[in-house]
Structure 1
Amino acid sequence: MKIGILTAGSDSPGVNAAIRGFGKAASSLTNVELVGFRDGFSGLVQNRTMDLLTEGLLSGILTEGGTILGTSRQVPFAMEEGEEIVDRTQEAVDSYKQNQLDALVCIGDKSSQLAAYKLSQAGLNIITLPRSAENDVPCTDKCIGFDSAREIATQAIDRLHTTANATHRIMIVELLGNSSGWLTLGAGLAAGADVILIPEIPYHFDVIIEAIQERKKAGRIFSLVTVAEKARPRELVEFMEMAAQKKGGTSEEKEKTFEKIENNYSAQTLLLANRLGSATGIDTHITILGSLVRGGTPTAADRLLATQLAEWSLKLVMDGSFGRMACRKDGAMSSV
């Protein structure tokens, strides 16, 4: 049997552990070849490969961050080529067939799961593993990389907590979280944040200001605020809802305007800082952790999860259970 494997989407810790886990399990079987595609779906489309089992690439990567295969956010059905968006699904199918693959394993984030599903619809035998620093891939208890990202974020917030206390400031820490607040909530709770703002719950400026003012009255002049990059104030959400209902302008024009507002992450965090600083009279600083949480050595929990999911995904391949994602449900290995 010949199996292809790639890592796609945003980076997160623990991916090398998954590659290693799959490769080690595959090498214990007879007549199994493992072909790695470089840089995600781009490597599949362009047929850029490496032989993972004969080149000795799996040794020593369990504790390494990143991915030895490389990754990218490109997806076959909408690949960016200059200023154009091109559908390269057929090239991906051709590469799969040219390499005479029996299955393709994709370790990827939410957008990569969709890309893998589309390839499955195109006739490829696909198995996926969920990985995301934001923990935003549905149908699994936890994604590869989340535990490490939460630990890194917690340590960073701990440090900012001490400097906020020493300098009597409001410290706002912005974390990854496009549609999910798992990372911000988990790290915020673990680090003892005074205010936690997530995308799922629009926030009210007045409520936050009142909470910080109460702390100030009690003699606690500093405050620590953790905010997901796409957390939004209630007033902005209501404005966009009203604008969507108003007549005038095409739906496409409205969609582009809303997208521009939604994607202006830093402006919202800056607005939050300005409002809090002005209302409370406390010096307010912003720290954006961003991709910091995507790198570095994975935690023991992530290494174990990655290895378990990798071994389970190989079982799915050998059983012929294609078009599924290996996952952990209620603490046990499963697939959806």
Structure 2
Amino acid sequence: MRVGLLTGGGDVPGLNAAIRAVVKRGEGEHGHSIIGFRNGWKGVVDGDVMPLTRRDIRNVLPTGGTLLGTARYHPHASDGGLDAALATLEAERIEALICIGGDGTLNAASKVAAAGVKVVGIPKTIDNDVWGTDASIGFDTAVSIATEAIDRIHTTAESHNRVMIVEVMGRHAGWIAVTSGIAGGAELVLAPEEPFDIGRIERFLKHRHRAHASFSIVVVAEGAVPAEGTPMHYETQVGKFGEIVAGAIGERLKVEIEQRTGFDTRVTVLGHTQRGGIPTAADRILASRFGVAAIDAVTAGTSNVMTAIQGEQVVLLPLDEVAGKVKFVPQDLLTVARALA
């Protein structure tokens, strides 16, 4: 069987571990030919192929990024894109396609599956917001990086009596902000799930600095917004592809906090450092499990599904149930972040 493989959307640590698992299991155990597409769905549309063998995946397990390359491109959203993708799959004699990506890539996968292609999805995103799975490839590494950064910023904040704002990724869901904020001992965590009150933040910081501390750490997700009716007007700033402009909410909070409290305030935007570097052991293991499960599903003839981790088990979920949905941070985790302020 000729099996296509692509990585789409933003890169995350652990993608190469998933590619490695698909190739090793697919070629070695099942005798399949694995055909990689460069640069995500764009490579499918353009016919940019890269046959993958065991030789191509040597020593890739600990490396970040993706050896296939990636792009934010969705064929169903471009004129003629879906037809071009289907034509490439037919010309390359692709009998099934494994797509590793986040909500956008998996939504595109569901559209291609609806056109008759056998598709299996693997969830990856540092935002951890893919519905139906407890974790996605890349999240554990991103949280580890963010937590280490907060640990380091603590010493500077305390030494200089500052308020330090740490901005992390998370447009729709605040998984990185909440988990790294708890793990790093942040005083305030601001997530998209709970719009914030700048007046409450002002009162909290003034009380804290007056009563028992001379510094504070504020972790904010890039998609956090003020609550309606509160004395801070802010509209999320986005780029030409709909991505949030890095640093926008962090800088606005810095101005507000300094003006309201008089405290010296600085911003650190972690940005793409959260995506890069060596994947953690947890991400390598999760990616490997997903890769094996995906190629086994293809071999069994299963289609239009996504691998997911639920508890300790890897399961297969219908893509139609997953596509377009967002997994938000649960209330109990948000409560823990508030309780430890």
Q: Same fold (TM over 0.5)?
A: yes
Matched position secondary structure for 2:31: coil
Given candidates 279, 287, 294, the residue that maps to 1:313 is: 294
Cα distance in 2, alignment partners of residues 237 and 183 from structure 1: 25
Offset of 1:279 from its aligned partner? 1.6
Offset of 1:272 from its aligned partner? 1.5
Cα distance in 1, alignment partners of residues 157 and 188 from structure 2: 14
Given candidates 113, 119, 132, the residue that maps to 2:125 is: 132
- Aligned equivalent of 2:271: 290
Segments of 5+ residues of structure 2 without an aligned counterpart are 318-341
CA deviations over 1:37-74 (Å, ceiling 9, x no partner): 001011111111111116x1110000000000000001
Flag the 1:132–1:162 CA change in 2: closer, same or farther, 3 A: same
After superposition, where does 1:160-239 map in structure 2 within 5 Å? 160-235=153-228
Query: 8 Å contact 1:141–1:331 — kept in the other structure?
Result: no
Offset of 1:331 from its aligned partner? 2.1
Matched position secondary structure for 1:28: helix
After superposition, where does 1:231-250 map in structure 2 within 5 Å? 231-235=224-228
CA deviations over 1:156-196 (Å, ceiling 9, x no partner): 11111111111111000110001011111011111000000
- Aligned equivalent of 2:19: 19
Query: 8 Å contact 2:36–2:50 — kept in the other structure?
Result: yes
Cα distance in 2, alignment partners of residues 161 and 207 from structure 1: 22
CA deviations over 1:139-161 (Å, ceiling 9, x no partner): 10000000000001111111111
Using the aligned pairs only, state the percent identity.
37
Q: Answer yes or no: is 1:50 the counterpart of 2:60.
A: no
Corresponding pairs, count: 313
Query: 8 Å contact 2:30–2:299 — kept in the other structure?
Result: no
Cα distance in 2, alignment partners of residues 133 and 236 from structure 1: 32
Cα distance in 2, alignment partners of residues 231 and 137 from structure 1: 18
- Aligned equivalent of 1:323: 304
Query: 8 Å contact 1:309–1:333 — kept in the other structure?
Result: yes
Offset of 1:28 from its aligned partner? 2.0
Q: Superposition RMSD on alpha carbons, in Å?
A: 2.0
Query: 8 Å contact 1:202–1:237 — kept in the other structure?
Result: no
Offset of 1:94 from its aligned partner? 0.6
Flag the 1:229–1:57 CA change in 2: closer, same or farther, 3 A: same
After superposition, where does 1:33-44 map in structure 2 within 5 Å? 33-44=33-44
Q: Answer yes or no: is 1:275 the counterpart of 2:256.
A: yes
Alignment-mate amino acid for residue 210 of structure 2: K
Flag the 1:38–1:265 CA change in 2: closer, same or farther, 3 A: closer
CA deviations over 1:252-289 (Å, ceiling 9, x no partner): xxxxx988699566443322211111222110111111
Offset of 1:29 from its aligned partner? 2.6
CA deviations over 1:109-143 (Å, ceiling 9, x no partner): 11111011111111111000000011111110000
Matched position secondary structure for 2:220: strand
Matched position secondary structure for 1:286: strand
Segments of 5+ residues of structure 1 without an aligned counterpart are 80-85, 241-256
Query: 8 Å contact 1:172–1:226 — kept in the other structure?
Result: yes
Cα distance in 2, alignment partners of residues 220 and 30 from structure 1: 61
Deviates more, 1:209-218 or 1:38-47: 209-218
After superposition, where does 1:87-98 map in structure 2 within 5 Å? 87-98=80-91
CA deviations over 1:6-36 (Å, ceiling 9, x no partner): 0000111100000001111112235310000
Matched position secondary structure for 2:34: strand
CA deviations over 1:81-109 (Å, ceiling 9, x no partner): xxxxx341001001111111110000001
Offset of 1:213 from its aligned partner? 1.1
Flag the 1:118–1:238 CA change in 2: closer, same or farther, 3 A: farther
- Aligned equivalent of 1:116: 109
Matched position secondary structure for 2:166: strand
The list of structure 1 runs, each at least 4 consecutive aligned residues, that deviate by more than 6 angstroms after superposition, is 236-240, 257-262
Given candidates 129, 151, 165, the residue that maps to 1:158 is: 151
Flag the 1:238–1:7 CA change in 2: closer, same or farther, 3 A: farther
- Aligned equivalent of 1:63: 62
Cα distance in 1, alignment partners of residues 213 and 231 from structure 2: 33
Alignment-mate amino acid for residue 132 of structure 1: T
